[in-house]
Chain A
Amino acid sequence: MALRVLGLTAPSKKPQPWWWGVVALLALFVFTIPLYLDVAELYSISNFLVLAILALSMSFLWGYGGMLSFGQTAFFGLGGYTYAVLALNTGETTSALLIAVLLPMIFAAILGYFMIYGRISDIYFSVITLVVTLILEKGIRATSGDQYVIGSVRLNGQNGIPTTPSLQLPWDAKAQLDIADVFYVAAGLLFVTYIGLRLLLLTRFGRILVSIKENERRSELLGYDTRRYKWLAFVIAGGIAGLAGAMWGIWGNFVGPNMFNLNQAAQVVIWVIVGGKSTLIGPIGGTVAVQYLTDWLGTQGVGQVSLILGIILMVMVLLFQQGLLPSAGIIAAFAKDRLGLTRRGRAS
């Protein structure tokens, strides 16, 4: 209802022809950004785009699979570290990027098997994923000694790996991508992920996933093995988060234990909750808005960003549970109703 007011349709419906138009226009807009912005701005926007991919993985899993995984940062960090370690060891980045997607998927498959096939309840699922990312962070932080080496790469504990190489062209290892190129790659991957997820939700798999979110027991009684679908969704989301992590390493030429930490995990939830989890496009907007705000606050020297993130999270949960965009829709619908602008209002 609220979405219809703003002219949005829920992604479980087939996209209208104009949707493709809107996406194409957006893509055109994003891809022309490098023409009129300087390198520093481009650099920070690339960051938003990469983080939006992470937000999409969370939004897909939570908004459509009904699973609130706080551990998306675990896959994010794992993807980043996998990319850094492999690229530094082999000197070749394309396969490193692929494996940085694959390895988090395998990890998600194992973890998901224990959690989803163990049928632990939603809330335990959230807590366990959170604990996993916290413990991974602790593990990585403890690797500061000389003995923690994978191949020729030192893990460096607290300090992370600051020599993470940028992406090379697959056919020419000497051609390193510069900041503008990384922007294009990030934007391209974001669009591909968004459109891919949107289309995935239209398939049989996507529809069953949404039905499980709506009513798991009923879907199960209809004969679907709900565990398999949830498990697959978890693995897919893990892969997307891993991709985001590798891209983040490429973007900043750095991976570190902060990728796993609680603030990072909280930010992912805040992006999705601010954008509203009932659409896929909302969390992308939420990511850009919140990241822009935190970056801006960082430069203003207000001190503790987590103080402000905490307030945002509490206010959002207590007052605007649907997210800002859908909440605006609800308020608009209410206002229309009150002002007698809706058809029903006019008829009476």
Chain B
Amino acid sequence: MDEVAIYAFQIGFAFAILILISLGLAVIFGMMRVINLAQGEFLMLGAYFCTLITQSGVNLWLAFLLSGLAVGVFGIIVEVVIIRWLYGRILDTLLATWGLSLFLVGGVTTLFGPQSESVAAPLGRFSVGVYGISQYSLVVIAVALALLAGTYALWRYTRFGLVVRGTMQNPTMAAGLGIRTWLVYMLTFGFGSALTGLAGAVLAPIVGAAPPMGVFFIGKAFITVIAGGQMPLLGTISASGLFGTIDGVVSYISSSVVGEMGMLFVAIILLRLLPLGITGRLKRGI
């Protein structure tokens, strides 16, 4: 019984991590078709903001929100300076954001040094049979689900969401209806960045904050969003579910590196069978 519970927990936790790291990318890449290779560095910035803010004595939970906001603003700046000039030129976007990623890693290392900063994990642990589980990892799962539900509600039930979806589907038509599409693109990119920053902040108590941390997540995030296919939210959920299961189980049996390799292996085979991703055959939606 404890075994089952611990497996369920492992899978749920792996699922939540995947959702956290890929939700922002699902907005930026899945909806806007902007390949942002600096996505991992946005996570890193979120984690750094979180450590800085908590070190200045602010409550951790408030620090999460503030980090998300800060990275959101940073994302808007990036959109205005770089991304805006490259819409429709996917490969150039990819190269430019790669440059941004190197720049951020170098910049943060220069400012804060190569060592990793840490945030004390809040809350205690409880035990299931002989296994110990930190309560904070349950918080991570809850935050992932809340962000998912919030994003879905924003896209599905608000006027802003409607305008964003319309603009992504047909920018010319949206512009013809009087929508300032440049503003929509800017805000959507900012929203995706904010989600990523918040995710980075939530991960900070678990993995700390270090300049190269983005690289650890970027691969997983891209595999998840690509394998998810054209429906950003549903695709991300289903791919996270699939990969989370593989990652959770394999990591538990063997090691996290083998778990990740298993994920990649399954993803490549999946893309051979379903080149458009898991939701590729479905009608358009979110």
Contacts and interface: CB of A to CB of B under 8 A. Distances in A.
Does B bind A?
yes
Interface of A: 68, 111, 114-115, 117-120, 122-124, 126-128, 130-132, 134-135, 138-139, 141-142, 261-263, 266, 269, 273, 303-318, 321
A138 B255 CA distance: 12
A117 B102 contact: no
A131 B275 CA distance: 17
A317 B106 contact: no
B202 interface: no
A307 B106 contact: yes
Given A118-B271, A317-B92, A135 B264 contact: yes
Nearest to A126: B94
Contacts of B154: none
B222 A131 contact: yes
Contacts of B99: 266, 309-317
Given A114-B271, A120-B271, A123-B35, A310 B101 contact: yes
Nearest to A131: B219
B98 A313 contact: yes
B109 interface: yes
B260 A128 contact: no
A263 B94 CA distance: 15
Given A118-B275, A122-B91, A132-B264, 8 more contacts: A130-B37, A135-B261, A138-B260, A263-B102, A307-B106, A309-B106, A313-B96, A317-B86
Contacts of A123: 35, 90-91, 94
Interface residues of B, number: 42
B215 interface: yes
* Majority SS at the chain A contact face: helix
A68 B90 CA distance: 12
Given A117-B272, A132-B264, A307 B103 contact: yes
A266 B98 contact: yes
Contacts of B101: 262, 310
B218 interface: yes
Given A135-B219, A307-B110, A313-B98, A111 B103 contact: no
Contact of B91 (A68, A111, A120): A68
Contacts of A139: 257, 261
Given A123-B94, A135-B261, A139-B257, A128 B268 contact: yes
A142 B82 contact: no
